[in-house]
């Protein structure tokens, strides 16, 4: 299949939309030009000169990165009148700029690193990176996971007798344009690596001939020389190539995917000018609740390209997001809402909301509801968590998410719906390893409202009222026999403890050798 191309405009009004250090969209990139699809343009030889002159003029006027047109009708608009088989070559494309990850970077959140401690306990860690392209109403969601890395190859019979049966390996999944999907998996993790204290990881499914797989961040050119199939990702850079392994027969798949893009983080998890926060509070540094969860970048701007199903998507300053999970296994049941693309506000917005039925530490099978809402708006972080207020939710098995919350100063309400059937994705499970466990869509309709809270608990001044048709929505685990209604709050003693401003990183910084992995 021939490769087609998609590109975002780089005109001055587009850049102006992102001039401030904030993320989100006032009017869904209302100031930017729509994506141009690059396909064959067939022009009669007698009209070639006129077509190229018109294309050149069009390029100078709008300054796009790519300047071919999709069809005969569009070609006529710039001076072509007849059609013939002839292909126009792409002479420019978006080229992302690689920067190595600096030490002590701004906006680094706690728990950015790889949490594996070398023990043989049941353990997984998973990472999620999303890029949204509003002009196309398409998103790309990259998901990586490692399971039981203490066993770097599939367990032997003797190891299973010693430790019990475990699932091992590394997986890479992408949910991409048009809800198509790709997955590559290996039951060996000896070519996987992760930084102990920074958001850096990678894996080589297949190394280049006579090349040693990398075990740290390396420049893009060197990566391509060493890795045939695999990936590497940092807070500032993401690249890879994977090939579908044929294990998926329930959704439309693509055979291969390749990508390279840079990212400029805008929001971590907290106020822009403040120290970034642990999503689950400072107790997340200890094995009290599992699994753990951290939003690493609630909003960023990414520039680069993704080759997907024979097409190439190019983008500049596209809204992006990243998060991670780690622990013994995913929650028994969960929901999730995330969005960086909004319409109707006078500022920029990034939203994450989620909840789950998670296991409490101990030998007994005790579970609790946990949920939160986090909003970044105009550089300010609005946090709604069980230890500073109450979070209510009502989640259908599919199609409807309603979450509301309040703390001492604000109230929030969000409602999301979708008619999209959703795509089944995999997640690490205790029972079956990396197996189908959740359903997602990036075509959700969402309304988000935020108010100041009056002294009597009623709604005061409205701060935010925005909508989107590009919300990422998910339900997972189960059983989902009917609508899940819940309310989360924290016992007073735990709430008081979590509200103590404990700088866990600072404390361990005094004795670096005792600092746990991942923190």
Q: Which of 507, 110, 494 is nearest to 279 (CA)?
A: 110
User: In whole numbers, what is the pLDDT of the chain averaged over residues?
Assistant: 82
Contact 222, 232 (CB under 8 A): no
Residue 304: which residues within 8 A CB-CB, separation 6 or more?
Answer: 94, 96, 238, 259, 260, 261, 262, 314, 315
pLDDT computed for residue 255 by the predictor:
97
What are the angstrom distances between the C-alpha of 37 and each of 301, 306, 313? 22, 14, 9
Greater confidence (37 vs 323) lies with: 323
Residue 494 pLDDT level (bands cut at 50, 70, 90):
low
Residue 8: which residues within 8 A CB-CB, separation 6 or more?
Answer: 14, 32, 35, 65, 94, 133, 135, 314, 315, 316, 317, 318
> Is the CA virtual torsion 517, 276, 105, 175 positive or negative?
positive
Greater confidence (34 vs 277) lies with: 277
Q: 366-393, pLDDT tens digit by residue?
A: 777 889 999 999 999 999 998 889 999 9
For residue 255 the two structure tokens come to 């055979």
> Is the CA virtual torsion 248, 252, 255, 257 positive or negative?
negative
Q: 468-482, pLDDT tens digit by residue?
A: 999 999 999 999 999
Residue 55 pLDDT level (bands cut at 50, 70, 90):
very low
pLDDT computed for residue 156 by the predictor:
92
Indicate the burial class of 6 (C-beta count within 10 angstroms; 0-12, 13-18, 19 or more).
buried
Residue 445: which residues within 8 A CB-CB, separation 6 or more?
Answer: 416, 417, 418, 467, 468, 469, 471
Q: Phi, psi (5° rounding) for residue 236?
A: -115, -10
Greater confidence (363 vs 210) lies with: 210
Q: Which of 385, 382, 366 is nearest to 498 (CA)?
A: 385
Q: Is 29 left (phi over 0), alpha (psi -120 to 50) or beta?
A: left
CB-hemisphere CA count at 13 Å for 287? 14
Average pLDDT over residues 44-70: 37
> How far is residue 308's CA from residue 30's CA, in Å, rounded to a whole number?
26
Tokens 């001076």 map to which residue? 79
pLDDT computed for residue 13 by the predictor:
35
pLDDT computed for residue 25 by the predictor:
40
Q: Does residue 52 carry a pLDDT above 80?
A: no
> How far is residue 117's CA from residue 287's CA, in Å, rounded to a whole number?
12
> How far is residue 466's CA from residue 463's CA, in Å, rounded to a whole number?
10
pLDDT computed for residue 358 by the predictor:
73
Greater confidence (104 vs 517) lies with: 104
DSSP-assigned letters across all residues of 137-179: TEEEEEEEEEE-TTSSSSPPHHHHHHH-----EEEEEEE-GGG
Q: Which of 424, 196, 437 is nearest to 333 (CA)?
A: 437
Q: From the centroid of its chain, how far is CA 375?
A: 16
For residue 371 the two structure tokens come to 């949920």
Greater confidence (61 vs 383) lies with: 383
Q: 233-265, pLDDT tens digit by residue?
A: 999 999 999 999 999 999 999 999 999 999 999
pLDDT computed for residue 492 by the predictor:
60
Q: 179-203, pLDDT tens digit by residue?
A: 999 999 999 999 999 999 999 999 9
> How far is residue 301's CA from residue 362's CA, in Å, rounded to a whole number?
41
Q: Helix (H, G, I), strand (E, B), or coil: what is residue 293? A: strand
Peptide bond into 291 cis (omega under 30): yes
Q: Does residue 343 carry a pLDDT above 50?
A: yes
pLDDT computed for residue 517 by the predictor:
77
The Cα diameter of the chain in Å comes to: 82
State pTM to two decimals: 0.82
Percent of the chain scoring above 90 in pLDDT: 65
Q: 104-148, pLDDT tens digit by residue?
A: 899 999 999 999 999 999 999 999 999 999 999 999 999 999 999
For residue 449 the two structure tokens come to 């409202």
Q: Which of 311, 313, 183, 185 is nearest to 251 (CA)?
A: 183
CB-hemisphere CA count at 13 Å for 392? 9
Contact 229, 256 (CB under 8 A): no
Contact 126, 326 (CB under 8 A): yes
pLDDT computed for residue 43 by the predictor:
36
The mean-pLDDT minimum among 82-91, 93-102, 418-427 falls in: 82-91
> How far is residue 115's CA from residue 430's CA, in Å, rounded to a whole number?
18
Residue 92 pLDDT level (bands cut at 50, 70, 90):
low
CB-hemisphere CA count at 13 Å for 309? 14
What are the angstrom distances between the C-alpha of 381 and each of 261, 273, 278, 460? 27, 10, 13, 18
């Amino acid at each position: 299949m021939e490769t087609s191309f998609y590109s975002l405009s780089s005109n001055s009004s587009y850049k102006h939309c992102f001039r401030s250090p904030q993320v989100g969209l006032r009017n869904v990139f209302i100031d930017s030009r729509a994506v141009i699809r690059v396909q064959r343009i067939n022009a009669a030889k007698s009209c070639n000169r006129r077509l190229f002159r018109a294309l050149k003029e069009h390029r100078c006027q709008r300054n796009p990165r790519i300047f071919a047109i999709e069809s005969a009708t569009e070609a006529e608009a710039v001076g072509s009148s007849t059609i013939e088989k002839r292909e126009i070559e792409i002479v420019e494309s978006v080229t992302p700029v690689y920067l190595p990850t600096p030490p002590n970077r701004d906006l680094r959140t706690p728990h950015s690193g790889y949490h594996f401690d070398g023990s043989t306990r049941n353990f997984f860690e998973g990472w999620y990176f999303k890029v949204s392209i509003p002009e196309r109403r398409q998103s790309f969601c990259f998901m990586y996971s490692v399971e039981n890395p203490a066993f770097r190859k599939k367990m032997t019979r003797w190891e299973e007798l010693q430790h019990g049966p475990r699932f091992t390996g590394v997986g890479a999944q992408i949910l991409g344009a048009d809800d198509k999907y790709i997955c590559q998996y290996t039951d060996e993790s000896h070519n996987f690596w992760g930084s102990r204290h920074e958001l850096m990881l990678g894996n080589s499914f297949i190394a280049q001939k006579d090349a040693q797989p990398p075990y740290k961040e390396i420049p893009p050119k060197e990566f391509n020389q060493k890795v045939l199939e695999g990936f590497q990702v940092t807070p500032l850079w993401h690249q890879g190539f994977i090939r579908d392994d044929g294990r998926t027969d329930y959704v439309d798949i693509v055979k291969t995917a390749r990508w390279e893009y840079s990212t400029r983080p805008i929001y971590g998890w907290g106020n822009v000018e403040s120290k970034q926060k642990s999503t689950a509070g400072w107790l997340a540094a200890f094995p009290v609740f599992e699994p753990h969860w951290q939003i690493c970048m609630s909003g960023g701007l990414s520039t680069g390209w993704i080759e997907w199903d024979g097409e190439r998507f190019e983008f500049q300053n596209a809204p992006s997001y990243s998060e991670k999970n780690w622990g013994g296994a995913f929650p028994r049941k969960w929901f999730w809402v995330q969005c960086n693309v909004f319409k109707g506000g006078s500022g920029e917005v990034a939203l994450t909301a989620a909840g789950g039925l998670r296991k409490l530490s101990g030998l007994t099978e005790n579970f609790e509801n946990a949920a939160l809402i986090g909003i970044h708006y105009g550089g300010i972080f609005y946090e709604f968590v069980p230890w500073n207020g109450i979070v209510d939710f009502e989640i259908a098995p599919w199609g409807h998410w309603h979450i509301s919350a309040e703390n001492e100063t604000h109230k929030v309400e969000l409602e999301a719906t979708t008619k999209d059937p959703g795509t089944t994705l995999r997640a690490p499970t205790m029972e079956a390893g990396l197996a189908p466990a959740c359903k997602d869509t990036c075509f959700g309709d969402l309304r988000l409202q935020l108010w100041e809270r009056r002294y009597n608990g009623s709604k005061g001044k409205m701060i935010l009222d925005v909508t989107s048709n590009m919300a990422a929505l998910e339900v997972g685990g189960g059983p989902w026999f009917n609508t899940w209604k819940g309310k989360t709050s924290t016992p007073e003693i735990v709430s008081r403890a979590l509200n103590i401003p404990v700088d866990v990183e600072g404390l361990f910084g005094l004795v670096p050798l005792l600092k746990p992995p991942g923190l």
